[in-house]
Structure 1
Amino acid sequence: MTTTRVPSAFPDSCPVLAGEEAARRVRRALRRWRGFPVDAVEVEVEEGGTRVVVSGTVEWSHQVTGARLVVADVPGVPRVVVHLDIARPRADSDAERAVRHALVAEALSRAEHIHVAVDGEGTASTWGHVRSFTERHEVEALVRILPGVDRIDSDLEVRPD
């Protein structure tokens, strides 16, 4: 579980909100962020309405980082604590499909030559071939952010065109 206390970016420039209005603003900010699973998290008020807590489970590590950044910029909310877990990986075919989709989105043309498998213990294995060392590093970076991936065993071969 990742826990972070996020100070408000607007400590003196606007009135401090408390209670449900503060939680409502945090929810609204998270909803505006396209792709964030607002329905998968809880936004609660604690400590007599002076602290907002965001908790739950998300699929990607960038969603945890993004949530911290988004809630830090909510005007009038003095204290937000982010408690988000990252989901464990889905089936290998889902992991490979997610990486392939990301590779296509990143315009890496050899996505069909790259394979990924994730075991139940957080190790991702990659194999196949790429055009350059840069492409290899990009593939490994995409695999690293898969839910539940703690380690990568890469057997990607570099084959320049």
Structure 2
Amino acid sequence: MWKTTRRISLSGRLCCCLKDPLENVDTWSESVDNVLTCKTGQSAFREFLQSEHSEENILFWLACEEYKQIKNVPEMISSANRIYSEFVQTEAPKQINIDCGTRENITKNISQPTLTSFDSAQKLIYSLMARDCYPRFLKSDVYQALLRKTDC
């Protein structure tokens, strides 16, 4: 039997939003993108990252996704400064783990941000999540419990 899905664009990506948000949990094991493009997946992955004390990764990634959708310059400047002070600058409250060259480049250009200002850092964080966090997420109690719920 085929499941009916409604696809909703989230920052240019497609999300399978089903009547039962747990109905597509099994597809999360196919790719980290399946987790990140689904609101329920984001929540579960965030809960897992909290348990690993690395929640800043998904929060930064999501902030960047929202940032790329901004249409006016004042809002872009305000949002860029918030992302910078919250995640990028040295000693930021939710400082992300990026190389010093990427951090310096963002710092150098933050006074005149563009919609691509955080792209290199976002790619690094995505890669970190996909390579390191995502495989552990699939084995985690958080994900396994959700899988069991869908089996009922």
TM-score range, shorter chain: under 0.3
State TM-score, norm by structure 2. 0.27
Structure in which a larger fraction of residues adopt strand = 1
Indicate the structure with greater helix content. Answer: 2
TM-score of the superposed pair, with normalisation by structure 1? 0.25
Larger radius of gyration: 1
